[in-house]
Structure 1
Amino acid sequence: MGQTLFSSDFRLGILGGGQLGKMMLYTTRKWDIQTYVMDKHDTAPAFEGSTVFFEGDIMDYEAVLEFGRQVDVLTIEIENVNVDALEQLEKEGVAVSPSSKVLNLIRNKATQKTFYQEYNIPTAPFEVLETPKVTDRSFPYIWKSAEGGYDGKGVKVIRSKDDLNDLPDQECIYEDMIDFKLELAVIVARNASGDMTTYPVVEMEFHPEANQVEYVLCPARIDDNIAKQARELALQVSHAYNHVGLLAVEMFLTQNNQLLVNEVAPRPHNSGHYSIEGAVTDQFEQHVRCVLDLPLGSTDTVLPAVMVNLVGAEGHTGNVVYDGINEILAMDGVTPHIYGKKETRPFRKMGHVTIVADDIEKARKLAEIVKGKIKVVSS
């Protein structure tokens, strides 16, 4: 199929027009592949780069069905889509990657955790509840909403029964708090022919208040044996899901060097943004290769890299201003990516910056300087 994709009538569809969709378009523009995008808002970051943009709700059955019938291959940039519509499109012969089956296993965190249990994939001890309530589980523990959580939303540390107040009345999981040394991630790429590869293990540092990733470091500062185990565990998870596309596998490294799978995402992921400057094949090109069943690209690291998320500063809501961007553009090895969201608000993801250097510690120190120089504020 490969040779018929380029400069032709072939159409790739992407459900969701956020920054992940926008960055997939870097590749489809490069290769002259017609790409249709659907999002609820025509202000979405992927609006300008798409061949055709459809304004529609990706959670709406009829809208997704109508959109999907106009493309040859359909993929996603966010899990919150109408999966029933995807299932119908699959019956009609549209190639949907990841499949409706995979999305049904992943988008609900309770289903996802139970899946790990069934496949003997190590994960933190948990219980599933229909609604939050007091149980005999010892405090503290983690509450997670089964559906709808992202970027730190839908997650809360429960230190006493009072912390259960005001939680949404919906299915959730209670999970043991893990005493971990590091949070790691491995991205697995798998094309429709079943060829697989993994990216190097990355290390994630989180913002203590927003519970969002603040820095991603590649390679992770771990020994080779743990890195090998992490990549093997990610492949085990990938085999269990039998997905097509990327699968980002987030893990905890405990104090006694045990690896536990936290959660997964079947799409390009924040932990792989470094790859645009830091890897031979960036994660967005790799995802396109996977869903179009093209040969996989090299995941080798070009240079050690650190990714810094650019999020809206506290106390700022309105038209966005990137204060200090000229200063960081003057620094060697520093590349900002601006997502195209016109309005900022506290902790909203507005962009990221990649810092490359000849060793990871140097890149990490430079990343801290970059983070101190640039602020996402309102005018």
Structure 2
Amino acid sequence: MSYFSSDFKLGILGGGQLGKMLLQETRKWDIQTKVMDASSEAPCKIACNTFVIGDLLDFDAVYNFANDVDVLTIEIENVNLDALEKLEDEGKKVYPPTKALRIIQNKAKQKLFYIDNGIPTADFHRFAYKSEIEDSIANGGLHFPFIWKAARFGYDGQGVKVVRKLEDLEGLPTGECIAEDLIPFKNELAVIVSRSVSGEIKTYPVVEMEFHPEANQVEYVICPARIEPKVAQKAQEIALKVSEKIQHVGLLAVEMFQTQDDKILVNEVAPRPHNSGHYSIEASYTNQFEQHLRAILGLPLGCTDSKVAGIMVNLVGAEGYTGDVVYEHMEDILKLEGVTPHIYGKRQTRPFRKMGHVTIVNQDIAKAREIAQMVKETIKVISK
């Protein structure tokens, strides 16, 4: 099949910043695209050939959207899987496959999958309702502290909370959830695995992630991770095992904990381009978005090596500001060496909303980290 400057059409479910960055690669190759999102102001709207407003969780909206596309992919996993399954049954190419998405979309099922397949992960309890957590605590089955996670719809730090006392459960959603052991980790790591339609597999280098303590969002992604080679190798091996068992097509971001005694525990996965791979746009020979395209179209996978050390700084809405966005001190960070900002196109900011990211590249990882700190302290995402 001819993908380039042809009638081929790629469908993308989700119109956020991940889709926008994926569209930069489709435009580079002149691949036709059709995108659906619930928001008329989605970042993807300006960069695709056809934009459709629709509910990603609505069966009819998803099914009808895909009628005239040749290959269908996602930029967010919270989509209607029954519609995708019917499309697959009718011969539509859907990547990642629905079978993989059914494992990943529900965090409780995801954790059980790890246990069933011998993949190391933190101990956890599964609850149909939040009220069952209180019963378990009262009966001695669950002890503080632990991590509460909603089974569905968690995203960008939402749906996750450290619970240290009973009062911390107040105001949380009442539905299905898990309570996970709080791991005293040394580092949070991630590995992106690319798997093509043809079965070709490549991994990106292990990255190190530094999180905001309150928002539970990544503040910095550091590549290469500042860890021992044997730890990096172990992380790569476990990520490949997860990929093999899930049998995804496209990208799979595997987030992991490095414990104090250097064990690797899988935290969770995402079956799409991921925040932990944004550094690759400037720092890698093949960025993660191009790699996703290569994988789902059955093209040869690109080189995943880094050209230089790369650090990504997330740009999120400052606390206390809601409304029309203003990026303060952009000129100041552009004066710094090796700095490239990416603005996602969201006109409205609110506290901790992801509004963009900045990549810093340098031959020296220590120097890159120093500049990244300057960027974080300089630029402010506020409102008018």
Q: What TM-score bracket applies, with the shorter chain setting the length?
A: over 0.9
Q: Which residue of 2 aligns with 1:44?
A: 42
Give the letter aligned to residue 235 of structure 1. Answer: L
Partner of residue 141 from structure 1, selected from 146, 153, 157:
146
Q: 2: CA distance between counterparts of 1:137 and 1:358?
A: 47
Partner of residue 220 from structure 1, selected from 222, 225, 245:
225
Q: Which residue of 2 aligns with 1:355?
A: 360
Q: Aligned pair 1:292/2:302, yes or no?
A: no
Q: 2: CA distance between counterparts of 1:175 and 1:210?
A: 18
Unpaired segments ≥5 residues, structure 1 = none
Partner of residue 171 from structure 1, selected from 164, 172, 176:
176
Q: 2: CA distance between counterparts of 1:162 and 1:299?
A: 46
Offset, 1:182: 0.2
Q: 2: CA distance between counterparts of 1:330 and 1:177?
A: 41
Q: How is 1:82-231 mapped onto 2 (pairs within 5 angstroms)?
A: 82-132=80-130, 133-134=133-134, 135=136, 136-231=141-236
Q: Aligned pair 1:339/2:344, yes or no?
A: yes
Q: What SS class does the counterpart of residue 87 from structure 1 fall into? A: helix
Offset, 1:162: 2.5
Offset, 1:169: 1.5
Offset, 1:372: 1.0
Give the letter aligned to residue 161 of structure 2. Answer: K
Q: Which residue of 2 aligns with 1:319?
A: 324
Q: What SS class does the counterpart of residue 103 from structure 1 fall into? A: helix
Partner of residue 233 from structure 1, selected from 232, 238, 250:
238
Q: What SS class does the counterpart of residue 181 from structure 1 fall into? A: strand
Q: 2: CA distance between counterparts of 1:199 and 1:321?
A: 34
Q: 2: CA distance between counterparts of 1:266 and 1:351?
A: 21
Offset, 1:41: 1.6
Q: What SS class does the counterpart of residue 30 from structure 2 fall into? A: coil
Q: 1: CA distance between counterparts of 2:368 and 2:69?
A: 42
Q: What is the TM-score when the length of structure 1 is the normalising length?
A: 0.98
Q: What SS class does the counterpart of residue 115 from structure 2 fall into? A: helix
Partner of residue 314 from structure 2, selected from 299, 309, 314:
309
Given that 2:336 and 2:371 are in contact with CA atoms closer than 8 Å, whether structure 1 keeps it comes out as no
Partner deviation per Cα, 1:127-155 (whole Å, 9 max, x = no partner):
11111222121211111110011111111
Q: How is 1:359-378 mapped onto 2 (pairs within 5 angstroms)?
A: 359-378=364-383
Q: Aligned pair 1:268/2:273, yes or no?
A: yes
Q: What SS class does the counterpart of residue 235 from structure 1 fall into? A: helix
Q: 2: CA distance between counterparts of 1:77 and 1:335?
A: 23
Q: What SS class does the counterpart of residue 46 from structure 1 fall into? A: helix
Q: 2: CA distance between counterparts of 1:115 and 1:96?
A: 22
Offset, 1:25: 0.5
Provide the identity percentage: 63
Q: 2: CA distance between counterparts of 1:172 and 1:57?
A: 24
Partner deviation per Cα, 1:199-253 (whole Å, 9 max, x = no partner):
0000000001111000000000001111111111100000000110000000000
Q: 1: CA distance between counterparts of 2:214 and 2:167?
A: 20
Q: 1: CA distance between counterparts of 2:323 and 2:172?
A: 29
Tell me how many residue pairs correspond in the alignment.
Answer: 377
Partner deviation per Cα, 1:144-182 (whole Å, 9 max, x = no partner):
110011111111111122222332221110110101000
Q: Cα RMSD between the aligned structures?
A: 0.8
Q: Aligned pair 1:23/2:21, yes or no?
A: yes
Q: What SS class does the counterpart of residue 69 from structure 1 fall into? A: helix
Offset, 1:377: 0.7
Q: 2: CA distance between counterparts of 1:247 and 1:94?
A: 21
Q: 2: CA distance between counterparts of 1:162 and 1:340?
A: 38
Q: 2: CA distance between counterparts of 1:145 and 1:349?
A: 20
Q: Which residue of 2 aligns with 1:75?
A: 73
Give the letter aligned to residue 202 of structure 1. Answer: V
Give the letter aligned to residue 120 of structure 2. Answer: P
Given that 2:291 and 2:302 are in contact with CA atoms closer than 8 Å, whether structure 1 keeps it comes out as yes
Q: 2: CA distance between counterparts of 1:304 and 1:160?
A: 41
Give the letter aligned to residue 96 of structure 2. Answer: P
Give the letter aligned to residue 39 of structure 1. Answer: D
Q: 1: CA distance between counterparts of 2:329 and 2:155?
A: 28
Q: What SS class does the counterpart of residue 119 from structure 2 fall into? A: coil
Q: 1: CA distance between counterparts of 2:280 and 2:122?
A: 29
Q: 2: CA distance between counterparts of 1:65 and 1:367?
A: 43
Offset, 1:5: 0.7
Offset, 1:58: 1.1
Q: 2: CA distance between counterparts of 1:334 and 1:165?
A: 42
Offset, 1:42: 2.1
Unpaired segments ≥5 residues, structure 2 = none
Partner of residue 277 from structure 1, selected from 257, 282, 299:
282
